[in-house]
Amino acid sequence: MLAYITGIVLFALAILISVSLHEFGHMLTAKGFGMKVTRYFVGFGPTLWSFHKGETEYGVKGIPLGGFVKIVGMTPLEEDEEELNEADKKRVFWRKPLWQRTVVLAAGSVTHFIIGFVALWILVSFVGVVANPAHAAAFDESQENAQVAVSQCVESTDTAAPAGDCPDGQIEGPAYAAGIQDGDSITAVGGTAINGWESLVATVTKLTPDEPVAVTVDSDGTTKTVEVTPYAATVENEDGTTETVARLGVVGYVDPAIAPTIAVGPIDGIGETFTTTGDMFKETFIALGQLPSKIPPLWDAIMGGERSADSPVSVVGASRLGGEMVQYDQWAMFFMLLVVLNYFIGIFNLLPLLPMDGGHIAIAWYEKARSWIALKRGKIDPGRVDYMKLMPLTYAVIVLLGGFMLLTITADIVNPITIFN
């Protein structure tokens, strides 16, 4: 349990650092172009601590859910420029060339891409990871039988059990000890037929820890029955309480033919990282296109239906998955999940909708195009876009995103995705 909680905290902290670096990217490029930056804070709400360096106030606020940077003149809703001296008026955001404003606005997403790329390069070069990380936890649930990967060591409440070659606090996985191998399909447990991963989870949960049970396995077309003694594991319920349940020490299997592992060294790793990044970007755009169709199943999961492993998750759900990965010593998967999350945030933030950075970029280029057309037609430059007229649309986007976030958080609390059994 300690490892699980540690994993949750580490993943949430990694997300906070990533978002803070996103804002740092905005600030760094803005300062580089001579724009006036007045504030850079990690978190929201009441200020816990801050200091001034030059014209910028840096600090930490009480609610650790992100961060922000204040660039003077980023929108017409910013500070009154009449309060600025003549030198600073030339430094406001909107007076800078379009290409500089675009760079500053895109810098947050670019920061996410850099974080993801560097982490992915380290993984593919020196560790070896699933080449298609978007499917790392989304194993095939449509298969008739539950194809599994086996954990050699597992955490258990039974501290008196033999640990084997496992580290302190862990014991040898029952499925591993019984000779079940990665890629085997479990077809029956205690006489109960298994027809998929969800069926396996439900059946194993009903078993009694430390009582041997017959497990039927299909291994490369050969059927065999082995005796497995489930171990006692502590799981967290949706209401925050914990209970002890039976577990076999298996996880959902990802076919290497679909998602091969690679560890190719630092030079070849550059090319592999670009290739894998391209695949991940493609998967992200596909996922964004499918997002509306994921909402009804998400609602069904909240109402008690099965939760698909590839359904959307919130920061809460991602952190819980990170906790599981640390609990079972799956650090490569932990960092791969962070890579996927950084790439997704980077792409999502560039969508041409307010309040995302992509919306501000779209408006900046629209203003430029409108001014150019007016000049060609001999008309007066219409000037800047009236942001007040866009506020209803902005609020609509905020409400939709807020509703979707609330939906995913609820699903992650009521019916969370679990990738280890």
Are 177 and 227 in contact, with CB atoms under 8 Å apart?
A: no
Q: Single out the catalytic residue among 23, 155, 172, 367.
A: 23
Tally of domains in the chain:
2
Question: 8 vs 155, 170, 198, 315, 389, CA distance in Å?
Answer: 16, 19, 24, 10, 41
pLDDT in tens, the chain (421 residues): 677 888 889 998 999 999 999 999 999 999 999 999 999 999 888 999 999 999 999 999 988 878 899 998 876 655 555 566 777 778 888 889 999 999 999 999 999 999 999 999 999 888 876 544 333 444 455 555 678 888 888 876 665 555 567 777 778 889 988 999 888 889 899 989 888 888 888 899 889 988 999 999 998 888 999 999 998 887 776 666 778 888 888 877 765 555 555 577 889 889 989 998 998 999 889 888 888 888 888 888 888 887 877 788 888 888 888 888 888 778 888 898 999 999 999 999 999 998 899 999 999 999 999 999 988 888 888 888 888 888 899 899 999 999 999 999 998 888 888 776 5
Are 134 and 347 in contact, with CB atoms under 8 Å apart?
A: no
Domain assignment present for residue 262? The answer is no
**Could you tell me if 179 and 299 lie in one domain?**
no
Closest among 158, 208, 234 to 420, alpha carbons compared: 234
Domain assignment present for residue 259? The answer is no
**Could you tell me if 318 and 352 lie in one domain?**
yes
How much is the pLDDT for 139?
47
Domain assignment present for residue 308? The answer is yes
Distance CA 316, CA 303 (A): 19
**Contact partners, residue 192, CB within 8 Å, separation at least 6:** 203
Domain assignment present for residue 65? The answer is no
**Could you tell me if 131 and 272 lie in one domain?**
yes
Domain assignment present for residue 41? The answer is no
**Could you tell me if 305 and 411 lie in one domain?**
yes
Strands (E) across 151-191 are located at: 153-155, 170-172, 185-189
Full domain range(s) for residue 164: 146-252
**Could you tell me if 340 and 308 lie in one domain?**
yes
**Could you tell me if 415 and 376 lie in one domain?**
yes
Task: Using the CB atoms, write b or e for 112-134: b if 16+ within 10 Å.
Answer: bbebbbebbbbbbbeeebbbbbb
CATH code of 246's domain: 2.30.42.10
**Could you tell me if 96 and 161 lie in one domain?**
no
**Could you tell me if 23 and 122 lie in one domain?**
yes
Domain assignment present for residue 11? The answer is yes
**Could you tell me if 13 and 157 lie in one domain?**
no
Check if 141 is active-site: no
**Could you tell me if 90 and 169 lie in one domain?**
no
**Could you tell me if 279 and 306 lie in one domain?**
yes
Domain assignment present for residue 213? The answer is yes
Tokens coding 23: 């804002």
**Could you tell me if 17 and 112 lie in one domain?**
yes
Are 17 and 64 in contact, with CB atoms under 8 Å apart?
A: no
**Among residues 219, 252, 285, which one ends one of the domains?**
252
**Contact partners, residue 197, CB within 8 Å, separation at least 6:** 139, 141, 143, 146, 252, 309, 421
Residue 123 phi/psi, 5° resolution? -65, -50
Predicted TM-score (pTM) of this structure: 0.71
Neighbours of 54 (CB within 10 A): 8
**Among residues 252, 283, 317, which one ends one of the domains?**
252
**Among residues 223, 252, 281, which one ends one of the domains?**
252
